Amino acid sequence: MKVLMLNGSPKANGNTYRALSEIGTQLEKEGIEYEIFQIGAGPVRDCIGCHQCTEQGCIFTDDKVNEFIAKAKEADGFVFGTPVYYAHPSGRILSFLDRVFYSSGRAFAFKPGAAVAVARRGGTSASFDVLNKYFGISQMPVAGSTYWNLAHGTKPGEVELDAEGLQTMRNLARNLAWMMKCFEKGAEAGIALPQTERGNSTNFIR
């Protein structure tokens, strides 16, 4: 089993990466592989609702969205990490995930996910809440921890001083690993995935 993590920070080795790495280290102790996917500092397009999605994902191929989608199809669980900008997730992770889920949301169904937010001080719980919205609309069970999945630090490496934040990351990893193992055993026992109704998309504007 493998967890695919998304670093929504342009800084490859900042505090968001460090929080995700703490999760990854614990996942390995639980016998689960992980990969941290870097969005990077290059431009990321917004979703423009063009309805030109393909089997590979988004029709636009000048960034890493479709590369992430290909990896997501093979993954068993997810963690999305973001720095906090103006009490909100980074604009790049939202643009990235909007296109990922708009084009390929069904690749995530019934796979557990978790969100992580890292900030200097405020805005973490609001950012955490925003990222969790992707899970709820995509039939993804959400893994929790012993606190909201938040950590604090400004300069790269400062998150090391947040003992509770890193503890929260380790407990999140344990809980996520437990969920994934339970789902695997359920599949081995022949428990089928829930049936999904589709077709109704009500417009309330008359």
- What torsion, rounded to 10 degrees, do the Cα atoms 79, 8, 54, 205 define? 90
Tell me what pLDDT residue 206 has. Answer: 65
Q: How far apart are CA 125 and CA 31, in angstroms?
A: 30
Mean pLDDT (whole number) for 105-132: 97
Report whether pLDDT(7) > 90. yes
Q: How far apart are CA 29 and CA 38, in angstroms?
A: 23
Tell me what pLDDT residue 54 has. Answer: 95
Hey, which residues does 5 pair with through a beta bridge?
36, 79
- 119's enclosing H/E stretch is strand 113-119
Report whether pLDDT(132) > 70. yes
Q: How far apart are CA 194 and CA 13, in angstroms?
A: 39
pLDDT tens digit sequence for 50-101: 999 999 999 999 999 999 999 999 999 999 999 999 999 999 999 999 999 9
pLDDT tens digit sequence for 25-47: 999 999 999 999 999 999 999 99
Is pTM beyond 0.85 here? yes
